[in-house]
Chain A
Amino acid sequence: MTVDDHGRVRLHRRVAILATAAGTVTYAALASLTRINTVPAVLAVAVPVGVVAAVALRRPNLPTVPDARLRRTTRLWAVVALTGLLWEAGAYFGELTIGQHEHPTVSVLLEPSLQDPAVRFVAWALWLLAAWRLVRR
């Protein structure tokens, strides 16, 4: 690869990053205008889910040899994620059987904030950035 080729690759990479950022911000801005529990909101979530699933699930398994530190970190993340999911599930069942006030789920706690347009935009942007992280190579 020549110096020119390296420069071209860097330029393509920058253009791709800028295009992704612009696309993410535009999509997040439009999607944050949708209201919860409406068909436009469902479609706004369904489109990225479909794209990510189509791109990521077609890829073959990659040969990886995780080192000890990666395995340890993965275990820690798995424990925290599982604890969070179980706590949320417990709150959900508590909400159904006892009451929402006594056992609020995290979505009930965050709902007032997510009604704010700026917070909703940030939430959309973060979710879309996560999508980009999932499909990038």
Chain B
Amino acid sequence: MSSRDVTITGFVVVGTAVLTLLVAGWSGRLTRVGKVIDGAMARRATRVVVIFVWAWLGWHFLVRTG
């Protein structure tokens, strides 16, 4: 297995974990992601982190890629 394969496998694992958490929220086994975001947005300190991550995603994928 090459370094490239290991790197890509890591992203696939993280993506699968995200999908698993989303499905677990929809099926009622965990709290829905919307409630988690609401909880994070309730406090200013975590709100800043959430907005920063969202802004970074927009910058990274929609303005500068690669």
Contact = CB atoms under 8 A, between A and B. Distances in A.
A76 B44 CA distance: 21
A121 to B, nearest CB: 11
A103 to B, nearest CB: 5
Contacts of B10: 87, 91
A48 B63 CA distance: 13
Contacts of A61: 42-44
Contact of B41 (A56, A84, A87, A102): A56
A117 B66 CA distance: 17
Contacts of A127: 54, 57-58, 61-62
Interface residues of B, number: 42
> B-side binding surface: helix, strand, loop or mixed?
helix
B21 A134 contact: no
A57 B50 CA distance: 11
B51 A53 contact: yes
A69 B30 contact: yes
A120 to B, nearest CB: 8
Interface of A: 31, 36-37, 41-42, 44-45, 48-49, 52-53, 56-57, 59-64, 66, 69-70, 72-74, 76-77, 80-81, 83-84, 87, 90-91, 94, 98, 101-104, 106-111, 114, 120, 123-124, 127, 130-131, 133-134
